[in-house]
Amino acid sequence: MRIRVDVSRPIYQQMIDEVKRAIARGELKPGDKLPSHRDMAQEIRVNPNTVQRAYREMEQGGLVQTLRGLGTFISDDPTLVERTRDEMARRSILAFVQEMRALGFSPADIVALVEKSVNEFSDGQKDLRDSIQGIQQTGVINSE
């Protein structure tokens, strides 16, 4: 048996994922300005260096553009939203299918279960979301 305890993903990676998710969902649009790393750091109560690292890696990945003295902006790339959405979706699907296979579900089972779940899933989503005990949050920032 294997028991794993993760002490939590590195914060800068979590931040990158959150930005990607926001882009994919349309909550952040190309051209939008991110808070300065100092502001961001203060709001989510994280070391400014950590934010800077997240911004730096996002820049290297083409996700954002940093203009000295002006700030950091979501890249003005017309394919960005699409690409990000696909990446996030691919990751999601892969992890999901792997987990379900590991639990012993056949491909047919998985499809059937998702089909059933997706249909029951109408407007009540937002409410369902809160009822998931899964994720504890440390800091939440609300810009826009």
**What are the E-state strand segments in 15-67?**
33-34, 64-67
Kindly state the number of chain residues that form the binding site for its own copies, as judged by CB under 8 A: 73
41 binds its own copies (CB under 8 A): no
Asked whether 74 and 80 are in contact (CB, 8 A), the reply is: yes
Task: Give the 3-state secondary structure of residue 33.
Answer: strand
| Complex with DNA: residue 50 or 84, whichever CB lies closer | 50
Per CB under 7 A, residues contacting DNA are 7, 10-13, 34, 36-39, 45-50, 52-53, 55-56, 59, 66-72, 136-139
94 binds its own copies (CB under 8 A): yes
Asked whether 101 and 90 are in contact (CB, 8 A), the reply is: no
Largest pairwise CA distance in the chain: 54
36 binds its own copies (CB under 8 A): no
Smallest gap from Cβ 42 to DNA, in A, equals 10
Nearest to 91 by CA among 141, 16, 36, 40: 16
* Residue 55 binds: one of DNA, its own copies, none (C-beta under 5 to 8 A by kind): DNA
